Every structure is written in C-alpha cells, then in structure tokens.
A and B are shown apart, each in its own frame.
Chain A
C-alpha cells in the first residue's frame, strides 16, 4: 500500500476515533455541569473541562473533510482534485485555526463576529455537501461511488447537527452564563436544562450519523437510486 495513501486512511480512522470517543466525556460531563446540586465553581470548572475535551470532536469534524476528499481523489472518485484539493486543505487549515481561536479567545471583542462567520461557513459547507451528494445520487455521479455520495450526504448531516447544537443549545448556554454571573434559581436551571436537552438531540444525531458514515465506508455497498 502506498505510504501517503496509508497515512491518509490511518488518519481518517484516527479522526473518527477521536470524534466519537472524545464526545463521550463531553456528553457525560454536561450532566454534572448542568446539575443545580453541584456548586457553581465546580460547574464552571466542569464546563471548561468539557469545552476543552470537546476540541477533539471539533477538530476532527474540520479535518475529516480534506482527508476524506484526498482519499477519494486517490481512487479517482472525487470531483475535487489537483489545485482544488490544495485549496480545500488551505481552507480547512484556516477554518481549523478559526475554530481553535474561538476556543482560546474567551473574552475577545471580535469573538461574536468570528463565531458568526464560523456559523456561515458551516451553513455553506453543509449546503455544498448535501446538494453535491444529492446531485451525485440522483442526477449525475460526480462522486465515483454511490456509497461515497451517501457518506458525503451524511457528513453534511453531521455539520447540520452541529449547527442544530449551536442554535438549540444557545439559550441554555446563555442561561448557564447568567447562572454563573447571578446565581442559580429554579427558573434559570430549568431554562438551561431545556436548552441542553434540545442540544443533546443533535449530539445523539451526530453520533448515529458518524457511526453510520464509518460503517458505510467499511461496507462500501454498491447501489443505484
């Protein structure tokens, strides 16, 4: 097996490992973070621990695209090749930088602006992936294999769930900040937990989709629609 190809496949598997595996700690930790019986200082620390561990799935979501498309290009199954593939790598590196900057720049005045930009990137990426996959499945096979188009569709679904977490979880997140600033009340705790519950639906959606994408990648079913 070609060294660079092996490295890509190996990286692809490791990204999957840290995406799904890393999420476990974040998910479990969120229950402690949202528990009103736990003191606020502890909850603030748990929130930080969860946010830090969450950088593993956040990083993998970005990197899995250039690596996945590079593997597809190696097989001649991807419409993104040559300079376009190089551009995808540069774009992904920039996006990854943005993701990490948002995590590290806690109180920067520019954070709100760049968070909005990040959300726009996700909308565009999701739309591009979903539309190209549907086009490949139903109109013209721009991805060389149907199962690959399905994986691209599922990856678009993962990004959509990520957007869902940001939108559905925002009221809960804001409420958590309010609780840290102004203290816990049953109303604030309820509002925060409602938001967290809504966000968790999308988290579980990502888990199912990521596992499904992995299974399809291993199985490589041959089908036509």
Chain B
C-alpha cells in the first residue's frame, strides 16, 4: 500500500469533518435565533452546534501538515522528508493552544489568547500568500501552480475564519445573557439575529473556498 493513498484519504477525511460537519452548525444557527423557541430549546441547539463546530476548528489546523505530506509525495513541496516534522509539531502545538483558548473563553486571559491566535493566523496567511504569489512569478517554492493556487485559497479560507472569529467575538457574552436572563428581550433578540446574520457571508464564502480547493486538488489544472 502506498502512503500517498493514506495521506489523500486523511486529506479527504479532514474535508469531511470541516465542510460536511459545518452543515450541521449552519443549520443549527437558524434554530438558535428562533425567538419563539424556549430558552432551553435554543441553548440545547446551541450546545449541539458548539459540539459539531469543534471538528471544523481542529481540521482547519491539521489540514495544512496533511496537505504538505501530500504535496511532498508528489514532489511539489518545498518542505520535504524529515523537515515535515516541523509543520506537524507546530500544528499539534497550535491545536493544543487552541484548546487552551477555548478553555479560557469569556475571561480577559481568554480574549488575550484569542488575539494571539488571530496573530498566528495572520502571520500564516501572509506566509501562504507570499509563497503562492512567488510561485506564480518565479516558479518556486511550490512545485506547481495548482498547488500554489490551493495554498492561496487556503489563505483565503483562513481569512474567512478570522472574519468569523471577529464577527462572532461577542457571541459568548450574548448567548451567556440568553442563558442568564429569565426571559429574552427584544434587544437581545436583535443582537442574536445580527450576529448570526453577520457571520453567514464569512461562512458561505469559506465553504466556497473549500469547495474550490477540492476542485483544484481533484483536477490539478496546469496553467
């Protein structure tokens, strides 16, 4: 059995638990903003949505080292052989850091850690964009333009992820208020509707990015 098949399989499985799982989160959001539901019902839907959402969050981190493994198998990655250990170690560290951020969510320390996480994402986006554009211009570091295109789209997907985080930054406080208040208020409902609506363009365009990435990976266009 070729290892490349295992990496492709893992790559597709990560897409499953990103794009596929996200449909549950997305659908739940319509029910979360239903003011005609009881508080208990909305919080129960929110809990389900929160559970499913952990998968896309984790996948967004690990898809990069898996993608690098795949690119290495095709001889198209600048990071090769034992050097691949570095992105794996960084991904695991970033994942553990994200778990810590989630644990501290809602506290001042959590907000500080969330800002650091966004800083990491911005730095990664810059590295990805520069490396992709440099490949289009100079033919390196990525071994093919279609891989560089995937890298560029991945940077775009990460940007959408930041958009979601920034738009939804008050979600914890808003839903915390829903849980704490004896009954909902028109102001709170307006805020929940505003939040869930504002985040949708980011989610939908993130999905579009993932779908295009998958299409590029399957067709591997030469240009």
Give the segment of A20-28, A73-81, A125-133 that binds chain B.
Answer: A20-28
The reply on B48 being an interface residue by CB < 8 A is yes
Contact (A17, B15) CB under 8 Å given A25-B21, A45-B31, A53-B24? yes
Chain B CB within 10 Å, residue with most, of A25, A219, A221: A25
Q: Report whether B16 and A17 are in contact in the complex, using a CB–CB cutoff of 8 Å.
A: yes
Q: Chain A 165-195, CB within 8 Å of chain B: the 1/0 string?
A: 0000000000000000000000000000000
Residues of B within 8 A of A1 (CB): 219-220
Name the one of B2, B15, B27, B51 contacting A28, with C-beta atoms under 8 angstroms: B51
Residues of A within 8 A of B38 (CB): 39, 41-42
The reply on B199 being an interface residue by CB < 8 A is no
Q: Chain B 41-59, CB within 8 Å of chain A: the 1/0 string?
A: 1001101100110010000
The reply on B218 being an interface residue by CB < 8 A is yes
Chain B CB within 10 Å, residue with most, of A17, A24, A46: A17
Q: Report whether B12 and A42 are in contact in the complex, using a CB–CB cutoff of 8 Å.
A: no
Interface size of A by Cβ–Cβ distance < 8 Å? 36
Can you list 28 pairs linking A and B with CB atoms under 8 Å apart?
A1-B219, A6-B215, A6-B219, A9-B218, A10-B214, A10-B218, A13-B15, A13-B218, A14-B214, A16-B16, A17-B20, A20-B16, A22-B24, A24-B17, A24-B21, A25-B25, A25-B52, A26-B24, A29-B24, A38-B40, A39-B41, A42-B38, A45-B45, A49-B28, A49-B31, A49-B48, A52-B27, A56-B20
Q: Chain B 187-223, CB within 8 Å of chain A: the 1/0 string?
A: 0000000000000000000000001001100111000
Residues of A within 8 A of B218 (CB): 6, 9-10, 13
Give the segment of A99-107, A153-161, A210-218 that binds chain B.
Answer: A210-218
A interface, by DSSP: helix, strand, loop or mixed? helix
Q: How large is the interface on B (under 10, 10 to 19, 20 to 34, 35 or more residues)?
A: 35 or more
Chain A CB within 10 Å, residue with most, of B17, B41, B211: B41
Q: Report whether B211 and A16 are in contact in the complex, using a CB–CB cutoff of 8 Å.
A: no
Name the one of B9, B21, B215, B220 contacting A214, with C-beta atoms under 8 angstroms: B9
Known: A22-B21, A25-B52. 8 other contacts (CB 8 A): A21-B22, A24-B52, A25-B48, A26-B24, A32-B44, A42-B38, A218-B5, A219-B5
The reply on A202 being an interface residue by CB < 8 A is no
